[in-house]
Structure 1
Amino acid sequence: MGRKPSITRDSAARAALAIVDESGPAALSLARVAAALNVRAPSLYNHFADKAEILGEVARIVVLDSGRVPDPEPGRWREWLVEEATLFRRSLLRHPHAVPLVVEYLPQQLLVRLYRQSSRLLAANGVPEGMHLFLLEAAHRMTLGSAISAATGRAALESLDLDDDGHPRPASEAEDERRFVEMVQAFVRGVDLPP
């Protein structure tokens, strides 16, 4: 019988995510990940070619941990797309320091796989194939942009009024999410589908 490995690719990536969550991406090093796993740093090279590959795995975890919305009832793809975007945004904001890593290191193969799954769902709901990538890419970019804004302390504004120090008042987290949902809803309602 073989010996159970002391670390796995997933455990190393989750340790890296915990470091990023706690201290930000600049604090991430192979030595720190190894210390969190009680192994020596060179052992990480059995699982990852370099730090960039670890960051790609961190991005993958954040995306896949967002969960999935059940397939929509017929004709309810717009609501489904809004819910998917909202779940993804929430997952991103559970890891605000990791949001830039998701933008920079998200494995493109994963993105294509997720888009293909969503494309099949849109097709099953009668959305013309030529609109699939447009819808998915637009929702993805709106979600990432909103998450980056919120993660960097630039949530939606409460109003156009300034506080006593001359600063804009940010909206609450709940209000910021509500406005994001309304933005995506307005987008999908406004999409003109060809017959």
Structure 2
Amino acid sequence: MPRAGRPATPLITRQTASDAALKLIDRHGLDGLSLQGVARELGVSAPSLYHHFKDKEEILTEVVRRMLEEIGAEQDTWSDDWETRTIELSLATRRVMLRHPNGAPLALRFFPRKLMLPAYERSLIDCPYSPEAQAVILEAVEKFTYGTSLFAAAAEAHHVPAMPTVDAGRFPRLAHALKVAPGDDEAIHVEALKALLDGFRVRFGSKLAKD
């Protein structure tokens, strides 16, 4: 029990420390993150963090884990339909990356693939395609999702549009394509993913999973 009149020592956990680190990254970017800054955010001394993390890179790995957990919590429930759920998860990933654009590049360097193995396994339970096609499908959906999401997050982090203003006089076809595109950037993301899913049906339709 702490002595009367003295504040209790703040509780440090890997979760509270990674949450504090993510807040700092959101405010100041990756260059603004330091163990001292995380300690100040938590109201503790920097050496205290070494009981939980061996170095800054371990904190960054935990930050990515927290972002992945945020993706999982983006919806209370997920569709039972495989294609619909694939779109929902891809959108959730994009939204979280855009919510933390300064931290999004960490997903490339510190992506905890071992932690994703259960998610990969679950996604294949009701995948409508045969095992011979499933690794290709996982690769395509994951790389599409993170590629487009990180591209959008990079633009957000630097406060520039993902697509600059297009001079219709010099680039008439591109200007027209953008003008008649199906909605905003998120809508285009969804339509592009649907096109990818349509492609799976064309290429792998003869290799549907057996019941």
- Same fold? TM cut 0.5: yes
Q: Which residue of 2 aligns with 1:133?
A: 135
Structure ranking higher in strand proportion: 1
| Structure 1: segments with no counterpart, 5+ residues | none
C-alpha contact 1:71 1:121 (8 A) present in aligned 2: no
1:149 alignment partner in structure 2: 151
Partner SS for 2:119: helix
- The alignment status of 1:70 with 2:70, answered yes or no, reads no
The TM-score, its normalising length taken from structure 1, stands at 0.82
Partner residue, 1:114: 119
Asked whether the equivalents of residues 63 and 92 of structure 1 are also in contact (C-alpha less than 8 Å), the reply is: no
Q: Is the 8 A contact 2:61 2:110 kept in 1?
A: yes
Would you say the 8 A contact 2:10–2:42 is kept in 1?
Answer: no
Q: Report what 2:90 is aligned to.
A: 85
Aligned residue for 2:129, secondary structure, equals: coil
Count of residues in correspondence between the two structures: 184
- What is the alpha-carbon root mean square deviation over aligned residues? 2.9
SS in 2 for 1:6: coil
How far does residue 158 in structure 1 lie from its aligned partner after superposition? 7.8
2:185 aligned to 167, 176, 192, which one? 176
Distance 1:134 1:148 in 2: 21
CA distance in 2, matches of 1:84, 1:13: 23
SS at match of 2:54: coil
TM-score normalised to structure 2 length: 0.76
Counterpart of 2:52 in structure 1 is: 47
How far apart, CA to CA, are the structure 2 residues paired with 1:63 and 1:52?
A: 17
Q: How many percent of aligned residue pairs carry the same amino acid?
A: 34
2:196 is aligned to: 187
Is there any run of 5+ residues in structure 2 with no aligned partner, and where?
Answer: 2-7
Distance 1:5 1:141 in 2: 40
Q: Distance in 2 between matches of 1:80 and 1:11?
A: 30
CA distance in structure 2 between the aligned counterparts of 1:41 and 1:90, rounded to whole angstroms: 32
